[in-house]
Structure 1
Amino acid sequence: MPFPSTHPTLEAALTAKGYAEPTPVQAAVLQPEAHDRDLLVSAQTGSGKTVAYGLALASTLLGTEERMGAPGAPLALVIAPTRELALQVQRELIWLYGPAGARVASCVGGMDVRREARALADGCHLVVGTPGRLRDHLERGRLDTSAMRAVVLDEADEMLDLGFREDLEFILDATPAERRTLLFSATIPRDIATLAKRYQREAVRIDTIDQSQPHGDIEYRAVRIAPNEMELAIVNILRFVEARGAMIFCHTREAVRHLHGSLVERGFSAVALSGELTQSERTHALQALRDGRARVCVATDVAARGIDLPDLGLVIHADLPNNRDTLLHRSGRTGRAGRKGTCVLIVPYTRRRKAESLLAAARVDALWGPPPSADDVRAADQRRFVADPAFTEETTEEDAAWARTLLEQRSPEDVAAALVRIYRARLPAPEEVFDDGGASERPGRDRPERGDRRDGKPTRPPRPADDGPGSEGMVRFRMNVGRRNNADPRWLLPIICRLGHVTKNEVGVIRIFDRETTFEIAEVHAPRFMASVRRSTNDEDIRIEPFEGPKGPPKKAHKPFARKRPDGDNRHADAAPPRRDGPPKDRPPHKKKAKSKER
């Protein structure tokens, strides 16, 4: 549908930018009932919120005038949680309000504060900033809010998550009470509702999110992996999906640094985003993604909040999100503005239940499966190679001359093989990954595997035998993964070696049971092994400890029976009665009760 009637100057800007029809949130804020009202809007990331509140502010900032007046004290303030989002909003408002002669200033942490102070002193119409820097300018008297007609809180839930409540309240209290307040948030939890109730007046509630199907333009996949093969699985996913842009989320800066280095080493054009980077480094990394010089971005949650990247077709959760909201925020980087996207969760066997509960909380249906194998990647490469546009482009005379020269000197097979080698040379090699053969997808995967006896009855899996510390010259240890976690020596052995700083030659027999696995380490290396395990940073929820026999609840000690003495002296009632060689004389021998035939 066409855009609803809006300001003529902004309509011209939309047409010049190629906007033909509004997104749901843009259409909603332009309805008559929302005109000049406070708005409380919940909309997904990437739904066009910046343009939406830019259009909603037109009647407040421009009225019936075609252009803004002379710049002075700012008329509107937009608050965003991160530097990247604030600068992105500034760019959007510049092209939207540029034809109206608007001057848009930014005030964000990490930028030159003196330049910002000069921009505010010279006068502007709109200010976009982050909470901390805006509060600093207010406290120092650089930001004049006396003429302010509207305040916008963009990604309000993220600002509260990041601990900016006090700053937001300070800023809002410093603005005129008769202003308009537009609050945009992906979710409306209790904290957001409380903030809206305090600072908004009879706000119009707009909800454009289909709660029954979050992120409908995103295909979710859950990839089960051996805990030590996270990097290998990510390499194959990046190679198999072949999205123009991809973002990978990790929990910590160290994880970002390590994964980024590993991908660059393999030949991927990748950049990193984390809190330890300077603003200049972050800006260059984002620009590399926007202009296509980089294809992959590895980032922490905080560094990637609010970032809008064009053609981001793939999001990978290298570390599982901590909660439902983080899952949706991360995933919302793709599937934006009507485009389709793919979201992949990397799920170690030891964390499958956490992943399932996370997806259930987000009401997301994910397709479970193994990571793409090296053969899968090569088959996809072959399909893409055959469909390459180079084979369908028009052949020039110069191209034909080169082709004739080649065929005079080489056979067609040699030319085709050389072309394949050239194509493959620019691609990182796929990795060999462990596949459980679908065992984790079969019904009853949480129950132990059972064999069959000759009579067809199932046999119970053996329990660890309490046969001491281990074989001669070996010390036995246990870890808390077993058959229910798809434990397999092919991925257990590398983990044992990595956590304990030993080689496979120092590892003895590995026995896998239902809920645990026991293994042996050479006795001379056992102390060093245990010390290394205690020092290791283990992110796979795998615990290793010395083996001390089968684990289980201790048997309850029965209190010895003692009868009361006829004279009332019960001082030794808790003492054990003397042992007899036979049954007591005053009681008949114990007889077994006949089993009842009734069920």
Structure 2
Amino acid sequence: MTITDGIAPPLAGALAAKGYDTLTPVQEAVLTPDCAGRDLLVSAQTGSGKTVAFGLAIAPELIGTGGPVVSPVPLALIVAPTRELALQVRREVEWLYAETGAQVASCVGGMDWRTERRALERGAAIVVGTPGRLRDHIERGTLDLSETRAVVLDEADEMLDLGFREDLEFILSAAPETRRTLMFSATVPKAIEELARDFQKDALRVVAQGESRQHVDIEYRAMNVAQRDKENAVLNLLRLHEAQVAIVFCKTRATVTHLLARMGNRGFPVVALSGELSQSERSHALQALRDGRARVCIATDVAARGIDLPGLELVVHFDLPTNPETLLHRSGRTGRAGAKGVSMLVVTPSDVRKAQRVLQGAQVQAEWVKPPSAEEVQAADDTRLINHDLFTDPPGEEEAPMVEAILGMHGPEGAALCLLRLWRAGRSAPEVVDEIAPPSEPAPRRERAEFGPSVWYELSVGHTGRAEARWLLPKICEAGGIARDSIGAIRVQQDRTFVQIAAPVADRFAPPGSSVDLDEGLTMARIEGEPTLERPERAPRHSDDRPRKPYKPREEGERKPYAPREDRKPYAPREDGERKPYTPREDRKPYTPREDGERKDRKPYTPREDGERKPYTPRKPSDAPQGLTRKPAGPKTTTGERKPYTPRDRDSDGEKRPYTPRKPADAPQGLTRKPYPKAAEGGDSGAPRKARWSKDGAEKRTYDNPVRTTAPKGADARPARAKPAYAKPAAPKPAPAKPNFADPSQSLRKPRTPTGGKPAPRGKPGPKRG
């Protein structure tokens, strides 16, 4: 198919300007008449042009007959699993729809949200983004999918692996039901088929070039190395190939960081690509690979989907992929658009079985090779130097005098030696790696052939005797002197076991009608024909053995009255006779809902008019005093009557009682506390106030005079209160003994100072010793 068949003129012109002469198989498949206007589930090899394919597939919904594409809301939505793939898809769609005037906006995580919002407000006919950021814009109301006509899910299986199923369901539910839904992926697992059934209508399955067939442009190799030489083998591998661009896949971010430091110290132009980097750092790393400033990229599986790096010739699996799909997607970064590439698996002896399973699941054939040695790497460097293109170019006008000067001063040998040393100085020295023999190829699975004529024997043990085939097999071979190939099926039953023996060696055992002893309590007898194998007994579903009728669904409205079974004893029988079966009453009227506003046998509620309601007046007790409307609460008497409330500090006449303090329990005999003087009618008690004293006017208190006095302040000052007579004075503290400085032991406890035992002031020298 040419680029003008079935393609709108603006898109055909863009393809021709890009250098497209023919379309790839997947691009031709989506342009067939059967795919027009239908939902598609497309699977194709990596690097087969799926981005351009779904760009051509959604063209009828965007440009129709070829007019300009101008819309204030998105008409097409493209969802990609990673930021790098989304930005790459945006670049592809921009040049494909450049002549249509369609505006393309991207919504990916890690970018400025306000810039994306302004791009959406200006009007974007096509929006490309990642699931999380697209959902964020939809929830905030900045992305309107009410007019979306087509939704494309690129690498849908990867989005499910990354846990974006809930986001995808939210995005698809926000789009109109009349939209087209197109799913593109290199592989279509079961989860993608389930998602397609949920969100696609009458989807057409499109398979281009076989999704699981080995990529013909990729050469798969497996390198068996020791665990300690794993990093050195990768360094030698990169030095041996000297690829224009190479990518090394690791499982964790920590491994990416370690290899980045190791290769950076060896002089490799290397960059890293992992999820812990910011979006700007990841974009700069990819741009460095495209510009040639870096030649090696160490990445996690975040770079395994959809990323297209020009000149990528080598893919190294430093850590083995977890499944065949990951192997195909990693390897698909090379061998794109007809170019050749190498996919190298680094396998340690403990991972040989895992590597074989992954290769077998991916249906690819890998060649097992040895790790490059230091001699091979050095020889490859020398060969590249000898065959370098610079030797074939003639010297320029400015270079000729310098060439003559070098040859005249150092001669040809000196010039060649200088060139060789400069060449090797710019490259790291190769590493020494121990060689390990490649593992043997796994034996092909042997198909089971027919056993041929045979004779059956019965053994006297079964499951009850803990009989097992691995225990019976050597005993049978030893008893008859036969090999294991002469024994067919071994069927262990509950109490016996049946063994199939080949007819040519059956005469070595017991003839018909007799038995032979294989072990103590184990006999083997020949039977005629094939045995009747017992089916394993199932546990009873019920504890009783009563027969049960098969289940028969009743018809609608058919229900028999309950009747107790004859074999069941009735529960708590009545004394006046047996209980009758339940019979519904015939005179019961069916429930009839009342109409709106209809209410029988009840007076309707009528609100009172203003002024009809009387004010609330509390009842007055008969024994209440004048002016008291409610009887105060009080303890009830034995007769049930409540006594009137009387305050504690007043007598029966209502006068206030004087305060009399209680006698302290520890006071001497006959001592009581002086009552507080009663206040006069004018409010003044008449007693002098307690004077406020200061430290300067106070007298020192001694044990002989326990009374503390204060200096009077004013005319109304009164003396301080004396201590009670019953309080015993505390015993005086003994005066501290003066130290005897003549005693050496006491001089060590408290050193002599000129201040009488106190430490010397700062800045003055202490006494001289000696």
| Runs (5+) with no aligned partner, structure 1 | 445-599
Alignment of 1:61-460 (within 5 A): 61-69=62-70, 71-210=71-210, 213-436=213-436, 438=437, 440=439
Distance 1:213 1:434 in 2: 35
Distance 2:441 2:356 in 1: 15
1:308: how far off? 1.6
In the TM superposition, what whole-angstrom CA distance separates every residue of 1:316-342 from its partner, at most 9, and x where no partner exists? 000111111111111111111111110
Which residue identity does 2:92 align to in structure 1? Answer: E
Alignment of 1:494-533 (within 5 A): none
| Runs (5+) with no aligned partner, structure 2 | 444-770
Distance 1:163 1:397 in 2: 63
Decide whether the 8 Å contact of 1:23 with 1:337 is kept in 2.
no
Which residue identity does 1:426 align to in structure 2? Answer: G
Decide whether the 8 Å contact of 2:44 with 2:211 is kept in 1.
no
Distance 1:129 1:346 in 2: 34
Distance 1:170 1:442 in 2: 48
Distance 2:392 2:68 in 1: 50
SS at match of 1:410: helix
Distance 1:411 1:443 in 2: 59
Bigger Cα displacement from structure 2, 137-146 vs 249-258: 137-146
1:304: how far off? 4.2
Aligned to 1:22: 23
Distance 1:141 1:173 in 2: 15
Which residue identity does 1:330 align to in structure 2? Answer: R
Which residue identity does 1:91 align to in structure 2? Answer: R
**Larger helix proportion of the pair:** 1
Alignment of 1:10 onto 2:33: no
Decide whether the 8 Å contact of 1:8 with 1:66 is kept in 2.
no
Distance 2:331 2:313 in 1: 10
Decide whether the 8 Å contact of 1:275 with 1:303 is kept in 2.
no
1:98: how far off? 1.3
Distance 2:342 2:350 in 1: 24
1:211: how far off? 5.0
Which residue identity does 2:381 align to in structure 1? Answer: D
Distance 1:250 1:443 in 2: 26
RMSD: 1.6
Distance 1:22 1:422 in 2: 47
Bigger Cα displacement from structure 2, 238-247 vs 113-122: 113-122
Distance 2:158 2:417 in 1: 53
Distance 1:105 1:211 in 2: 31
1:6: how far off? 0.5
Decide whether the 8 Å contact of 1:221 with 1:343 is kept in 2.
yes
1:212: how far off? 6.1
Which residue identity does 2:296 align to in structure 1? Answer: V
In the TM superposition, what whole-angstrom CA distance separates every residue of 1:529-566 from its partner, at most 9, and x where no partner exists? xxxxxxxxxxxxxxxxxxxxxxxxxxxxxxxxxxxxxx
In the TM superposition, what whole-angstrom CA distance separates every residue of 1:468-510 from its partner, at most 9, and x where no partner exists? xxxxxxxxxxxxxxxxxxxxxxxxxxxxxxxxxxxxxxxxxxx
1:147: how far off? 1.0
Aligned to 1:501: none
Cα 1:343/1:303, change in 2 over 3 Å: closer
SS at match of 1:229: helix
Decide whether the 8 Å contact of 1:273 with 1:304 is kept in 2.
no
In the TM superposition, what whole-angstrom CA distance separates every residue of 1:51-102 from its partner, at most 9, and x where no partner exists? 1111111111001133213x30110000000111111111111111111101
Which residue identity does 2:203 align to in structure 1? Answer: A
Cα 1:362/1:442, change in 2 over 3 Å: closer
SS at match of 1:6: coil
In the TM superposition, what whole-angstrom CA distance separates every residue of 1:17-46 from its partner, at most 9, and x where no partner exists? 112221211111122222222211001222
In the TM superposition, what whole-angstrom CA distance separates every residue of 1:126-183 from its partner, at most 9, and x where no partner exists? 0001111111111111111111110000000000010111110111111111111111
Distance 2:168 2:341 in 1: 33
1:441: how far off? 5.1
Decide whether the 8 Å contact of 1:76 with 1:149 is kept in 2.
yes
Aligned to 1:56: 57
Aligned to 2:621: none
SS at match of 1:183: strand
SS at match of 1:228: helix
Aligned to 1:492: none
Which residue identity does 1:85 align to in structure 2? Answer: L
Cα 1:422/1:355, change in 2 over 3 Å: same
